[in-house]
Structure 1
Amino acid sequence: MDPQGVSIKWVSDAKERGVLADRDFAEGNVIFEEQPMVCDQYLYNKDFFPTCEYCLACLESPADMVKRLAGLPEPPHLWGAEAVPVLKNVPCEHICGELYCSTSCRDKAWAQYHSLLCLGPHPRDDHPLLEIRQEWKSFHFPPESATIGLLVKMLAMIAVTRDEALFDHFKADYRNETLHIVAKFMDEQFSDRLTKFLRLFRDLFAPHGLHVSQELFDKLLTIVSLNGQGIGTSSFEAYERILRNLSAAAEEKAGSPEALAVTEALDQVDALREAIEEHSDDFTHAEGTGLYRAHAMINHACVPNAEIQFVRNNATLRVVATRDIAKGAEVTISYMHFDGCESDGEEDEDEEESDHEHDHHGHDHHHDHDEHLVDVDRRREMLREYYLFECTCDQCLADSGAGKAALATAPGSRTVAGSSSSSSSAAGSSSSAARR
C-alpha cells in the first residue's frame, strides 16, 4: 500500500531510505496505517489463542478471553463489551483446522499461500510442514520472539507467484556475518538447525516446483530477522481501549450515570488485568510477526517522534506521532525499548532481550523514550547486536559528547523532531543499512 501523508525517499548514503512527512503532524496524530504483506502467529501462542490465520484478529469475545486467561469459572459481565465486534469463526473448507475471521480472509489466504500449505483433515505424521513446526518448537520456547511459520508463508507466496524477488523490497545484506542475528532465536546447534530447516523446506516445496536454494533461504531469513514487526492482538484490550475513550468523553459529564458506569468498568478492567497477569504469565495476547512494506523503511532513533500501535484487534499496524513532526522531517521509531535496562551484569541479558521482543510486539502502550534511557554505550551495543548498525541519532551523539562536532561535520545534518528539515535531514534518526 502507499500510505497517505508520508513518502519513502532516499535520506543519505549512510541511512539509505527513510519515511518523510509530507505534511505537519501533531502529537497523537495517526501518521499512517498499514496491512502486513504477510504475517504469522507464534507457534506456542497459537496453541492458546484462537486467531484469524490470515490477519491475526482475536476470535474470542472479551468475556471469554478474560475467563480463560484469569482462570475464572464463568465469563464475567463486562459493561459495554457489546461495542467490541463479534468475529466469525470461519474454518478452512478443507478441514485442516485453520480458522479465519471472514470468508474474505479465508479466500485471500488460500490464494496467496494456504493452497500449498493446507494439511487437510488427516496429514501424515512425517509431513515436512509438521516436522518444521515440531523442530522449531523443540528449542524456541516462550516468551516467543519469532516464528518459522512466517518464512514458510513467504516461500509459499514465492512458489504461487513464481517470483523469487517478491520480497526484495525489504533490502537485506545476507552475507554470513548478518546471519548471527538469526542465531539469537536459536541455540548452540544453530548451524545444524539451519541445515535441517533448509532440507525440510526443500522437501516441502519441491512438489510445488520451487527449489529453495541456499541463497534464497539466507536472504529470506535475514529479511525476517531485520524487518519482522511483532504483533499483539487482544479483544479484552480492544474493550479496555473503548472504555478509556468513553471515559475521556465523559469527563465533561462527571457524576452522570454513564460516567460512573465507565469508572466502575475501568476499575473492573484493572482488577481483571492483574488476575490475568498472575494466572497466564507469558500468554496475555495473541502474538505473531509480520512484514510491512512502509513500516520497514522507518529508521531508528533512541528518542523517536513516532511509535507503533495495534488498535484494531488484528494485524493492522498504526504509526502514531509521539511529538509534533514538521513537514519534511523524518518519521522515526525506536527499534528497542531501552528505558529500564541495566547497563551491565549477566542477569540483565534476559531482560534486554525481553525489551527487544516487547518493542517488536508493539502493544498499545505509550512509552516516554527520553526518560530513564540506558547508557549510550549500552544502547549502541544492543543495536549493533540486533540490527547491525552504529547508532548516530541526535540523542546518542549528545550523550556521547560528540553531538555538536558530529552534526557540524556530518553530511545531511540531522534536526530535532518537529523542526524544519534540510535537504536529507532526519528527525534525529539512524538506521541499519542492512535493513534497507
Structure 2
Amino acid sequence: MAFEVRIFPNSKGKSLYATSHIPMGTLILEEDPIVYCQFSWNALCKYKACDNCLRPLETAEENVRRLMGNPLFELPYPDCCQTDKNNSTSCDLCGNEYCSENCKISAFNQYHKVLCLQSRERNNSHPIELLEEAWKNMHYPPETSSIFLIVRLLANIVQASNTDEAIQKVLSFCHKSVNEEAQLAHKFLGDKFIHQISLLREMVANILPNPQISQFLTPEGFQSLLALIGTNAQGVGSSPFSAWRQNVEKLNLSSKDREKINNIVDTIYDDMYAHTGDFLNSEGVALYLKQSCINHSCDPNAEIKFLHNNSRLFLVALKDIQPDEEILISYLGECEINRSRHSRRKLLMENYIFACECSKCLEEIDQLDVTSEEDMSTEEDN
C-alpha cells in the first residue's frame, strides 16, 4: 500500500500519510463500509436500492419514468444501463431487497440476523417501526444522516464472533471531549429535537436489549455514538440514470446523434426536477474505517469517489503526493470550499469542532473576517 495510518495521541488523532510517491489520478485506496444504511425518507419514497450496498435495483428507464412521473417514457441506448435485475434477491422473512445473494448473505451475517423484521411482526408498534417513524418526524428531507447507522453498528457488535474486537473497532474512531460530543450531538439532532436524545436512546435499547452493548446505551455512551456518526459518517449516493448517462458519453456517436442525445438528457433532467425536485439519487450514509482517518484541508490533495454506483469508496489523488506527505480531503462541499476563509472555518467549527489551520487557511490569514455572500444570503433566507 502507498499509505499508512499514523496516530498522534495528543493532537489530531489519526492521519493518513503517503509512504511512496503517489502520482495525480492514482487510486490510493478502496474500501467497503463497516456499516451502511439508506435514508428513511429516501426508502419510503421508493428509491429502490440494495439494502446492503445501495446499488440500484431499478433500471435507468424505470428510474427516469418514476422521477419524471411518465410511465411510458422510453430511454434510448438501453444497453448502457448497468442494472442487472437477474441477480436481485430479497430476505425470505422480511422482504428487504438486495442486489445479489452475496449482499443478502453479507447483511444477514453482519447485522440483519438480529434486525430482521419479519412480516408477521409488522404491526406499526414494533420497536424498529417506532424508531423509524420517530426519526422521520425529526428529520424531513433532505436528510443528512440516520439513527439506523447506530442501530446497525450495534447489531454488528451483537452478531460479531469476537465481541471485544468489534467493540474495539468502534472505539478506535477518534473521539472528542465530553463537551465537544455534546455539541456534536446537538448538531446531529438540531435545536428542535435535542431534548429527545433520551427517547432515541431508549428506542434503540428496545430494539437491541443486549448486555454486550450496554456501554453504548448509557447517556454518555449514546452521546458518544451520536458524535461519532456526526463527525465520521460519509454520505453515499447512487443513480441508475447517472450511470447510464456516463456510459452513453463513452459511445462513439456522430455529432448529430451526440447533439440529439444531449437534448434528450437535458429534457429528462428538466422533467425530473419539475416532478421530483432536487433529490434524484438513492441516498444513504456509511461508516468507513480508513476514510475516517483522513483529515481535512481546504486545498486537498485527494478526493473521495464512488465509482461502482454503490457504497464502495475510492480515494483518488488530486495532485502528486510525495512520500511522508499527509493525504488530505475536503470535508466541505464543492460550493462551500470556494467560500471565504472565515466562512469555511465557521462551517468546520460548527460541524466538526476544529479550527482549520490548513495551508490555504494560513495563506489567507490576513483576510478580513468577512462572511461569504452565500452565507449571508442563507442567513437572510432563514
Q: Would the TM-score normalized by the shorter structure come out above 0.5?
A: yes
Supply the distance in 2 between the matched residues of 1:80 and 1:29 (Cα, whole angstroms): 31
Whether the 8 Å CA contact 1:27–1:325 is kept in 2: the answer is yes
* Partner SS, residue 109 of structure 1: helix
Letter matched to residue 384 of structure 1: M
Q: Which residue matches 2:198?
A: 195
1:135–1:263 distance in 2 versus 1, CA, 3 Å: same
Looking at structure 1, the residues matched to 28 and 314 of structure 2 have their Cα atoms a distance apart, in angstroms, of 8
Q: 1:338 to 1:376 in 2, by over 3 A?
A: farther
Does the 8 A contact of 2:235 with 2:285 survive in 1? Answer: yes
Residues 322-333 of structure 1 aligned to structure 2 (within 5 Å): 322-333=318-329
More helix, by proportion: 2
Indicate the residue corresponding to 1:335 in structure 2. Answer: 331
Cα distance per residue 1:95-133 (max 9 Å; x no partner): x13101111111111111111111101223321111111
Instruction: Provide the rounded CA distance (Å) in 2 between the counterparts of 1:11 and 1:264.
Output: 55
1:16 aligns with 2:19: no
Residues 25 and 110 (structure 1), Cα distance of their counterparts in 2 relative to 1, 3 Å cut = same
AA matched with 2:27:
V
Say whether 1:234 aligns with 2:231: no
**Alpha-carbon distance, 1:278 to partner:** 2.3
Q: Indicate conservation of the 8 Å contact 1:129/1:204, yes or no.
A: yes
Per-residue deviation, residues 23-59 of structure 1 (Å, max 9, x unmatched): 3333333222111111000000011211111111111
Offset at residue 397 of structure 1 (A): 0.5
- How far does residue 338 in structure 1 lie from its aligned partner after superposition? 6.2
**Structure 2 residue runs without a partner (length 5+):** 368-382
Q: 1:70 aligns with which of 44, 68, 71?
A: 68
Provide the rounded CA distance (Å) in 1 between the counterparts of 2:353 and 2:64.
40
Q: CA distance change for structure 1 residues 122 and 75 in 2, over 3 Å: closer, same or farther?
A: farther
For 1:399, the equivalent position in structure 2 comes to: 364
Decide whether the 8 Å contact of 1:62 with 1:81 is kept in 2.
no
Give the secondary-structure state (helix, strand or coil) at the position aligned to 2:20: coil
CA apart distance, 1:20:
1.6
Deviations 1:199-233 (Å, cap 9, x if unpaired)? 11222211686433333322221111110000011
Residue correspondence of structure 1 range 9-408 to structure 2 within 5 A:
9-10=6-7, 13-47=10-44, 48-79=46-77, 81-82=79-80, 84-87=82-85, 88-94=87-93, 96-123=94-121, 124-161=123-160, 162-163=163-164, 164-173=167-176, 175-206=178-209, 210-211=213-214, 212-244=217-249, 246=250, 250=252, 261-262=257-258, 264-337=260-333, 339=335, 369=337, 373-401=338-366
Distance 1:23 1:30 in 2: 13
Provide the C-alpha distance between the structure 2 equivalents of 1:292 and 1:210, rounded to a whole number of angstroms.
20
Deviation at 1:13, TM superposition (A): 4.6
Q: Distance in 2 between matches of 1:18 and 1:207?
A: 34
Alignment coverage as a number of residue pairs: 358
Q: CA 1:327/1:239 → structure 2, altered by over 3 Å: closer, same or farther? A: farther
**Bigger CA drift: 141-150 or 179-188?**
179-188
Change (3 A) 1:273 1:5: farther
Instruction: Normalising by structure 2, report the TM-score.
Output: 0.87
Q: 1:8: Cα distance to partner?
A: 1.3
92 and 383 in structure 1: CA distance in 2 versus 1, 3 angstrom threshold: same
Cα 1:242/1:11, change in 2 over 3 Å: farther
% same residue: 30
2: CA distance between counterparts of 1:174 and 1:189? 23
The aligned amino acid for 2:186 is A
Higher relative contact order (CA 8 A, sep 6+): 2
Distance 1:13 1:174 in 2: 12
CA contact (8 A) 2:181 2:223 kept: no
Counterpart-to-counterpart distance in 1, 2:258 and 2:323: 38
Rate the CA distance shift 1:240–1:24 in 2: closer, same or farther, 3 A. farther
Q: Residues 186 and 235 from structure 1, CA distance in 2 versus in 1: closer, same or farther, beyond 3 angstroms? A: same
Cα root mean square deviation, aligned: 2.3
Encode CA deviations 1:286-309: one digit per residue, 9 max, x unaligned.
Answer: 001001111111110011111111
- Following the alignment from structure 1 to structure 2, what is the Cα–Cα distance between the partners of residues 232 and 194? 27
Tell me how far apart the structure 2 counterparts of residues 268 and 147 of structure 1 sit (CA, whole Å).
35
Q: Give the match's secondary structure for 1:32.
A: strand
